[in-house]
Structure 1
Amino acid sequence: MSTSRSESSQPTSLHSSGHSGDNDEVTTQSRSSKRKQSVVWEHFTKVRDFKLPCRNTIRGHVIEVYEEEKIKVYKLLDGLGCKVSLTTDIWTSDHSHVAYCCLTAHFVDDSWELQKKILAFRKMSYPHDGETSFNFMKEMILEWNLDKKLFSIVVDNATNNDVMIRKVKDWILYDLLVARDVDLLHVRCSAHILNLIVQDGLNEIRGLIDKIRKTVRYLNKSPAATQKFEMALNQCNLAYKRKVAMDMPNRWNSTYELLATALPLKEAFSRLQRIDKNYYGNPSESEWIYSIDAHSYIQMVRDKLISMFIDYGGSCVVSVNDLNVISSSGVETRASLRDFDRWCYESRVLNNQKSELESYLEEARFPRANTFNILDWWKTNSPRLPILAKIARDILAVPATTVALEAVFSVGGRVIDKSHTCLLPDALEALVVADDWIRSILKRLFIMWNHLELKHIMLKVMTYKTIEGERE
């Protein structure tokens, strides 16, 4: 595949190794002029004797790593004894104005750990309708051999996604002759639905929000406008150093932050209109009153969500490696489960003639606690409830939202900056997807290292205590 288009747009300092002589080395001058973009780049600038390979060599290495890791991920998914849930969304680069579709697989692995793997970050052709989305989804499902493992697809609540899901259902049921119920296949993103609800309320003050957005754009337009706004702040005795940042119109939480930042500056905006003849469009007094009410209602929603996250989020962030809900080193935990163990032993004979579901439903519920990990519970009880455990493994992997894709789009935005707008789609996909796969491996290695380090420290402590005891 030709790379001439992307090569011509790259900074000279990144590709000087393609020439002979002194140009093979990255000069000090080019390093100092290069904007620092990451920790990796800062480290690179300190290695003065390092010769950067040419762009084709780097691109070849990236593609090679991607292909090697793809084989490993394919084997992992192919050997799973459970279903796989998918999330998908479309992102458009602000710099290249090219749309990319991200597809992520979610599943509970054989160790009962929740896993996420990006499968594709691929250029999406126009139009972004249901037919185009279906063709992409069909291609990816077949490429990863997931047609018989697919359990659910989580998407935003949009018409084109409804069409795509319906076509996927028809394709799986009729073209692939899969005889099973697919009612659970389509899951609408709960975060997107919540956003639509709040946005409907924000429409009541849309005029005010638009005025605040215009004000923010005006303040960021020139240093002169910023200086006059600072003058207005001083005249109003407002020592407010928090910058008024533009929100993202399709995200209600960022609009909340916009209102929370702008409301305390109401007087400064009015003063700015008096001292700056180029500024106009300051909200009226009645609009400010409406905005205060709207902000209070949005804050209620936000506070409720934070409260729910605190209540239910604790069990989601506790690592399976760090927690065992059945056994514990604490004396109190062991004592509290003795009655439960006795009940299990006494009722085992009676439950032999009952189905797994009947036995499961008759069991006493665990009290709600932040330390309870549902995956670890099913891991421990899967030998006793093998059929239900298999069902639970599929259901518990279904994500409630597509929020995880936002992090992927953030990575894509960092890769496609104004200096790399012509990066070829296959290279971009290799960078983003391979980064996700390698990071997940490093994360698991880091967790294992932490456990080994902890055991090593405990061994040292126990050895020290033993030696001290012998001396006494």
Structure 2
Amino acid sequence: MVEYDGFRRFAASLNPYFKMISRTTARNDCISAFNEQKSVLKEMFKGATCRFSLTADMWTSNQTMGYMCVTCHFIDVDWKIHKRIIKFFRVKTPHTGFEMFNTMLSCIQDWNIADKIFSVTLDNASANDAMVALLKCNLKTKNAIPSRGKLLHNRCAAHVINLIAKDGLKVVDSIVSNIRETVKYIDGSQSRKQKFEEIVAQQGITCQKHPNIDVRTRWNSTYLMLEASFPFMSAFESLAGQDKNYKYAPSINEWERASIVCRILKVLYEATLVVSGSLYPTSNLYFHEMWKIKMILERERSNSDNEVAAMVKKMKEKFDKYWLKSYKYLCIPVIFDPRFKFKFVEFCLGQAFGKGAKDRIEKVRKRLNLLFKDYSDDSNTNSNLQAHHVMAIPENDPLADWVYHITEELNDQIDTELDVYLKEKPIHEFGRDFDILNWWKANYSKYPTLAHIARDVLAWPASMVASVSESSI
């Protein structure tokens, strides 16, 4: 651009004394600025007391070249959420788990954060599973990750919801086909649009948001099309009477079935918006959104309409597959939400698994205790307060064994920081104004070790996607 004659003449007309730089100078200045900011960020990472959660997404360009974008998420000492793209690079083909592992490890080593990784959020590609398995093995040998890596791999919430919705819509395509064809017909020409506008005015419909044709590969666009179509039901019916070429008017039965589909998709759509936010913690919200999906699928699976029931069945099969894989790590952030804690997890898992809930709950408890132990061992603060109850006595004293035995009994009776937190009643602030980060900031002195865990757990992003609509949540 800077060497284009037209641009040079334009710049000279604005300021004849300005000396235009060359493209090489522009490139070098950009790279210099990049390296300078990278050094600043490296220093910040080096001095950080928190752990980092990564998201990584693969995409293919028009030239069929594969690229990976790695984003680092963390919460600073002032309890503010941050995310930084730390790597954008081409991945050599074939995109195997081993090749992706090498590129991810190279990125982690370049930023010197191998000992500060908390989690990695990825979609459900098989190569990602292989990559995380290799990464976990590498970090475990260095004792660089908490909970022995059991919380390292998190599956992208938006991607899981996307898979659930797509499986369901494959079954009920016939239910929405007439609505889709109606929207397509109206948008087919300007004269049809004008005619439809006249009918809308005649019917006294005040809704300004007209439906747009959906993209079949994007289930959320199908939901938005359905939702926007319902206010115009009478207009579609009137159009059928005035336009002989229009043959797609949905029947009353089709509208009723479409409303059920829309009701189910609405829960999935709203869940996607919530878990895709980047201005607030999402890890503690993921469980609740999945629970809402679980509830509506349970409610609708016995629907009298066979096609709707078949849709729900397919969606529930996909939901159950990922629910069983992910419930153990979905529960952990909820426990660090002072409004719910462990009792809430016990209650929900009891409903979800019935007689088999006891073992499931125990698995979550073990992961929680292991996480707390790892942070307690690393912390300068002795969270379990045992230091105050150690009786000083020489090792060669005949009573040394007895004193050690008594000390152990005393320590077993002492509540840990985690015990104290879980025994306290949950707080009752369930509005959208509740600021979980501010709560932990205010209670840092009371729960120093738990606050460190909460800061890292809440920095974990539930989804790789940052929703453009998150400000409306």
TM-score, length of structure 1 as denominator length? 0.57
Unaligned ranges ≥5, structure 2: 284-337, 339-384, 390-413, 469-473
Given that 1:233 and 1:268 are in contact with CA atoms closer than 8 Å, whether structure 2 keeps it comes out as no
Given that 1:205 and 1:290 are in contact with CA atoms closer than 8 Å, whether structure 2 keeps it comes out as no
2:172 pairs with 1:205: yes
2:457 pairs with 1:395: yes
Cα distance change, pair 155–276 in 1 and its aligned pair in 2 (3 A): farther
Given that 1:273 and 1:282 are in contact with CA atoms closer than 8 Å, whether structure 2 keeps it comes out as no
Q: How far apart, in 2, do the equivalents of 1:401 and 1:308 lie?
A: 6
- Structure 1: which amino acid aligns with 2:257? Y
Q: How far apart, in 1, do the equivalents of 2:240 and 2:63 lie?
A: 36
Once the two structures are superposed, what CA deviation does each residue of 1:348-384 show, in whole Å capped at 9, x if it has no partner?
x999664333343444543325554333343344344
The equivalent of 1:230 in structure 2 is 194
The equivalent of 2:417 in structure 1 is 356
Once the two structures are superposed, what CA deviation does each residue of 1:162-212 show, in whole Å capped at 9, x if it has no partner?
2222222123234x5658600000111223323333333323322455676
Cα distance change, pair 262–373 in 1 and its aligned pair in 2 (3 A): closer
User: Kindly, what percent of the aligned residue pairs are identical?
Assistant: 31
Cα distance change, pair 140–211 in 1 and its aligned pair in 2 (3 A): farther
Given that 2:183 and 2:211 are in contact with CA atoms closer than 8 Å, whether structure 1 keeps it comes out as yes
2:254 pairs with 1:290: no
1:78 maps to which of 46, 70, 90: 46
The equivalent of 2:436 in structure 1 is 374
2:9 pairs with 1:25: yes
The equivalent of 1:63 in structure 2 is 31
The equivalent of 1:133 in structure 2 is 100
Report matched runs for 1:453-468 at 5 Å: none
1:294, distance to aligned residue in structure 2 (A): 1.3
2:78 pairs with 1:111: yes
Q: How far apart, in 1, do the equivalents of 2:249 and 2:456 lie?
A: 53
- Structure 1: which amino acid aligns with 2:48? L
1:76, distance to aligned residue in structure 2 (A): 1.1
Give the CA RMSD over aligned residues: 4.5
Given that 2:3 and 2:22 are in contact with CA atoms closer than 8 Å, whether structure 1 keeps it comes out as yes
Once the two structures are superposed, what CA deviation does each residue of 1:286-339 show, in whole Å capped at 9, x if it has no partner?
655532331233335557888999xxx7999xxxxxxxx9xxxxxxxxxxxxxx
Q: SS in structure 2 opposite 1:86? A: strand
Report matched runs for 1:135-150 at 5 Å: 135-150=102-117
- Structure 1: which amino acid aligns with 2:189? A
2:148 pairs with 1:87: no
TM-score, length of structure 2 as denominator length? 0.56
Unaligned ranges ≥5, structure 1: 1-14, 29-46, 317-324, 326-348, 408-472
1:161 maps to which of 128, 146, 170: 128
Given that 1:208 and 1:287 are in contact with CA atoms closer than 8 Å, whether structure 2 keeps it comes out as yes
The equivalent of 1:462 in structure 2 is none
Q: SS in structure 2 opposite 1:88? A: strand
Structure having greater relative contact order (Cα 8 Å, sep ≥ 6): 1
Q: How far apart, in 2, do the equivalents of 1:158 and 1:372 lie?
A: 35
Given that 1:228 and 1:272 are in contact with CA atoms closer than 8 Å, whether structure 2 keeps it comes out as no
Report matched runs for 1:290-369 at 5 Å: 290-299=257-266, 354=414, 355-368=416-429
Q: Greater CA deviation, 202-211 or 98-107? A: 202-211
- Structure 2: which amino acid aligns with 1:18? E
2:67 maps to which of 91, 100, 104: 100
Given that 1:85 and 1:150 are in contact with CA atoms closer than 8 Å, whether structure 2 keeps it comes out as yes
